[in-house]
């Protein structure tokens, strides 16, 4: 029996405008079921195949996530996952499958130097390190001491040695004078895409918060671009469903910051193009090259990912 999900009327109205009444019902049904639990096997410490066999012997059922080779959906509750010895040893990281999309879009390579400007608690930082095979360097920055503690703990638990953790206001980081070829900017957001895992967001959501965050996100993007080399790549992402935090920010990046959008594809992922208009606002046509997913598309968190290039 599915639980009853209570939704603010203002939130419901927006989702109906985005999806239509019928598909909004599919969204609610998915949220009531909750998202699929997912782990990313940490190949810096263990062999992927051996770890899969080890977990299956315990009776866990694993299903491959098509867009990242070390990711698996598991039919185990979060408490069991987090209290397992394999988690404590850093053999896997509990991470929503959609959260893995921004590092995939960034395409980190061995020996590169990458900036993760809003890094804590480290899901994407540790994934980037894994993709780089612990080579090169990642500057993982955040401005919350509580979240930085979680970031440092995750970096250490997963055996990552190519990461420098910094404590700095992301709006001021450019003043260090450092330049990067690749930047990950997974910004603070309303988190409305996470409702599939956290119903409390329905109660806390407000349009005022969304608009305030949109202004902050544009400021973060402007600051991040100052750290980006010419021909450099910046991946902008949120776990929000709100156009003000997603397409509107990308439109700002194109029109005000002179960035170009590079199309990104993900293997086996159901996704939609970025919106080109919302509530009377017309966005640049290239905003459609961004990737937008809703929770009911893949039974993951909703996410927005856009790859931007500085020409």
Catalytic positions are 239
Contact 101, 303 (CB under 8 A): yes
What sign has the CA pseudo-torsion 267, 100, 34, 214?
Answer: negative
What is the rounded CA–CA span in Å between residue 262 and residue 233?
9
Contact 249, 240 (CB under 8 A): no
- Count CB neighbours of 281 within 10 A: 13
- HEC letters along the chain: CCCCCCCCHHHHHHHHHHHCHHHHHHHHHHHHHCCCCEEEECCCCCCHHHHHHHHHHCCCCEEECCCCCCEEEECCCHHHHHCCHHHHCCCEEECCHHHHHHHHHHCCCCCCEEEECCCCCCHHHHHHHHHCCCCCEEEEEECCHHHHHHHHHHHHHCCCCCEEEEECCCCCHHHHCCCEEEEEEECCCCCHHHHHCCCHHHHHCCHHHHHHHHHHHHHHHHHHHCCEEEEEEEEEEECCCCCCCCHHHHHHHHHCCCEEEECCCCCCCCCEECCCEECCEECCHHHHHCEEECHHHHCCCCEEEEEEEEC
Contact 182, 106 (CB under 8 A): yes
The partner residues of 266 in beta bridges, in order of sequence, read none
């Amino acid at each position: 029996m599915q639980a009853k999900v209570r939704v603010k009327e203002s939130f419901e109205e927006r989702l109906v405008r985005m999806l239509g009444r019928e598909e909004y019902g599919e969204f609610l049904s998915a949220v009531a079921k909750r998202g699929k639990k997912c782990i990313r096997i940490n190949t810096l410490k263990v062999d992927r195949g051996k770890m899969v066999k080890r977990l299956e012997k315990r009776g866990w059922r694993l299903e491959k996530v098509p867009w990242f080779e070390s990711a698996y959906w598991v039919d185990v509750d979060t408490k069991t996952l987090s209290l397992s010895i394999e988690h404590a040893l850093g053999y896997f990281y509990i991470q929503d499958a959609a959260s893995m999309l921004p590092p995939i879009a960034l395409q980190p390579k061995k020996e590169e130097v990458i900036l993760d400007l809003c890094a804590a608690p480290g899901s994407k930082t540790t994934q980037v390190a894994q993709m780089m095979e612990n080579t090169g360097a990642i500057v993982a920055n955040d401005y919350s001491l509580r979240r930085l503690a979680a970031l440092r703990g995750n970096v250490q638990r997963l055996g990552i040695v190519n990461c420098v953790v910094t404590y700095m206001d992301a709006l001021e980081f450019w003043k260090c004078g450092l330049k990067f070829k690749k930047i990950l900017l997974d910004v603070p957001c309303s988190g409305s895409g996470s409702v599939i895992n956290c119903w409390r967001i329905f109660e806390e959501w407000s349009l005022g918060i969304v608009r305030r965050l949109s202004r902050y996100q544009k400021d973060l993007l402007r600051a991040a671009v100052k750290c980006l080399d010419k021909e450099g790549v910046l991946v902008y992402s949120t776990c929000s469903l709100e156009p003000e935090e997603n397409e509107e920010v990308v439109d700002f990046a194109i029109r005000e910051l002179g960035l170009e959008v590079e199309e990104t594809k993900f293997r086996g992922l159901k996704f939609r193009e970025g919106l080109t208009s919302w509530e009377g606002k017309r966005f640049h046509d290239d905003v459609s090259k961004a990737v937008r997913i809703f929770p009911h598309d893949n039974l993951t968190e909703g996410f927005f990912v856009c790859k931007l290039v500085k020409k």
